[in-house]
Amino acid sequence: MSSKQEATFDPKEHQHLRYNPLRDSWVLVSAHRMKRPWAGQVEKPAEEHVPRYDPCNPLCPGNTRANGEVNPHYDSTFVFENDFPALQPDAPDPGPHQHPLFQSKAARGVCKVMCFHPWSDVTLPLMKKEEVVKVIDKWAELVEELGATYPWVQIFENKGAMMGCSNPHPHCQVWASNFLPNEPALSDRCQRAYYQKHGEPLLLEYAKQEAEKKERVVVESSDWLAVVPYWATWPYQTLLLPRRHVLRISDLTKDEREDLADIMKRLLTKYDNLFEVSFPYSMGWHGAPTGPYLEGDNSHWQLHAHYYPPLLRSALVKKFMVGYEMLALEQRDLTPEQIKSEPTENSA
């Protein structure tokens, strides 16, 4: 028998692995690492002053874009075809592959840009609730429109220069593809496997469990809750979930859309107030596949949104996914429970 008594496990002090059921993968949690001094890269402060209207900004109402088209003088949301799309609807087929190690196949689709608001100096948390509802309604409309043809419609927003967004005007992108991309394909497989084994949608059961435990809930309402996932990789990552079984954003009721607008504003305000900065992030919606999948059974799916902010210690220090995380396993420092308990409750 060892003379040294084994320490009692404390998740805030001892490294451990956590399972991500949406990706069938693990994340290393090493909370004790936050005690180490920081001498790494510090980002430049974000530009504080953004003009409400910039005659040189291609996203502003009435301005000319790179392709020569002139934006209308819009006063709400505005959607247009991306001037530099990653996917086009008429790309040629590469043909059959000659070797199993060198495979390619056709990639077709459309890419759209959606402006949230005519003003450049507002973000979603600063918009009125009814304006955010219009954003949600347009998202739903685009999923229905593009999803009638394409298997996957990805809504995503990159906010802030730290996330590679070069234009401060509030906007997102919507890409529709003739294939199921890697992340939703993996999520589809994992949710299906859980449903087949347990007879309940994975994320519906997860939302119920988190609502009961309250350990990681950031904001909640009658129809929605946002949590720092048990398996979160990014420090301030959150997962936004409906309380009832919903396959796609286009399936939300009027009341659920209004409640979603409210909880999005609350969540994003908390983000902004955390470090007193317009919080950068990448976010996106995942729902049941569309196109040919509309006729199939998608009961295993549950609509949800991912928020992935890069910040770690302050508004100027971000987390890097490098080294061990690129080559071996994703790792985080603070536990999700510690993140949730940070003093942001007065910022809703």
Binding residues: 33-36, 66, 82-83, 158, 164-166, 173, 319-320, 324-325, 331
Question: In terms of DSSP bridges, do strands 330-332 and 304-308 run parallel, antiparallel, or are they unpaired?
Answer: unpaired
The set of residues, in sequence order, having a beta carbon less than 8 Å from that of 134 and lying 6+ positions away, is 76, 77
CA atoms in the 13 A half-sphere facing the CB of 235: 22
- With CA atoms as reference, report the closest residue to 256 among 239, 271, 241: 241
Contact 305, 283 (CB under 8 A): yes
Planar angle of CA 42, 48, 53, nearest 5 degrees: 140
Report the alpha-carbon distance of residue 340 to residue 248 in Å, rounded. 27
Residues annotated as catalytic are: 171
CA of 314: how far to CAs of 219, 236, 272, in Å?
Answer: 22, 11, 12
Distance CA 345, CA 326 (A): 34
In b/e form, how buried is each residue of 261-271, taking b as 16+ CB within 10 angstroms?
bbbbbbbbbbb
Q: Which residues are annotated as a binding site for UDP-alpha-D-glucose?
A: 33-36, 66, 82-83, 158, 164-166, 173, 319-320, 324-325, 331
Which DSSP state fits 33?
G
